Amino acid sequence: MSHTAFSVLLSVYSKEKETYLIDSLNSIINQTLPPNEIILVKDGPLPDKLNDIINSFQTQYPILKVISLKQNQGLGKALNEGIKHCNYSLIARMDTDDIAKPERFEKQIKFFEAHPYIDVCSAWIEEFENDTNNIVSIKKLPENHHEILKYAKYRCPINHPVVMYKKEIILKAGGYQGFPEDYRLWVKLIMNGAKFYNIQESLLYFRFSRNMIKRRGGWKYAITDIQSQIDFYKLGLFGLSTLIYNIFIRTTIRLIPNQIRHFIYQKILRK
């Protein structure tokens, strides 16, 4: 079957669990529409067990290409390096602890082929604990470009682990910079005039843990959040009243007890 060629981009670091990496890579290999290449960035030195898994997959699947960084650089910088090595205009993102649904790439590629003016195409994700049969929430996002622009003024409008985008528009925007890497990238693309779309179904299982919610709390995260909102205001994403509103809401969520924040994430911010 003839189709638009595309790359898959991942980054792995030393603390990744071996079983998670295996599940992630298998979900990419066993797609109804497999990728033309898989670019896996080693973000710093890895334990022998992770290297053995990667070597085994490389032996079986020559489309897997590995880029090694001497030191851990963090996700954004690792992805920027990986993008340089992607040979195709369309790049699908994956994380090494998530699981793509079998028809994910086929559905996204078909959408790009039918809508060539779209630059970024993502979808919903199902968050699970321990096993994909244990779905704890679905992260749904608005569908059309104008809805996504409105949503972006208050929250991240794209599920990064399931996104597919055009390489040239990412490079034009300067790639991943600062924190949060993905939200900042979407804002830069919005201000550059990129066109967005979210497929209205889940195409990926996202590995969820209570520790993830815990890590999103505290003054350090709150201060970083405030700075990012100020940066978005300076870029022209929204006005002063929205800036004040966002800082108040986001700072409150970062500083409340973990149990309450977990409840908000699961019952209010998810479906």
Share of the chain above pLDDT 70, in %: 91
Q: In this model, does residue 67 exceed pLDDT 60?
A: yes
Pairing of strands 120-128, 164-166: antiparallel
The tokens for 222 are 């709150």
pLDDT at 254: 84
| Residue 256's pLDDT band (cuts 50, 70, 90) | confident
Which stretch of 93-97, 237-241, 254-258 has the lowest confidence by average pLDDT? Answer: 254-258
Q: In this model, does residue 263 exceed pLDDT 70?
A: no
Domain regions of the chain by residue span: 6-208, 212-268
pLDDT at 173: 95
**DSSP per-residue codes, 32-66:** SS--SEEEEEEES---HHHHHHHHHHHHH-TTEEE
Q: CATH code for 6-208?
A: 3.90.550.10
Q: pTM for this one? A: 0.92
To 5 degrees, how large is the angle CA 18–CA 22–CA 28? 150
The tokens for 30 are 């066993």
pLDDT at 176: 97
Q: In this model, does residue 209 exceed pLDDT 80?
A: no
pLDDT at 266: 62
| Residue 89's pLDDT band (cuts 50, 70, 90) | very high
Residue 7: name the closest of 42, 40, 41, 35 by CA. Answer: 35
Q: Please count the other Cβ atoms lying within 10 Å of the Cβ belonging to residue 28.
A: 23
Q: Give yes or no for a contact between 113 and 33, defined as CB atoms under 8 angstroms apart.
A: no
Q: Give yes or no for a contact between 21 and 53, defined as CB atoms under 8 angstroms apart.
A: yes
> What values do phi and psi take at 49, rounded to 5?
-65, -40
Residue 34, C-beta contacts closer than 8 angstroms, at least 6 positions apart:
28, 63, 105
| Residue 3's pLDDT band (cuts 50, 70, 90) | confident
Q: In this model, does residue 48 exceed pLDDT 60?
A: yes
Q: Please count the other Cβ atoms lying within 10 Å of the Cβ belonging to residue 113.
A: 11
Span 159-204, pLDDT tens digits: 999 999 999 999 999 999 988 899 999 999 999 999 999 999 999 9
pLDDT at 218: 77
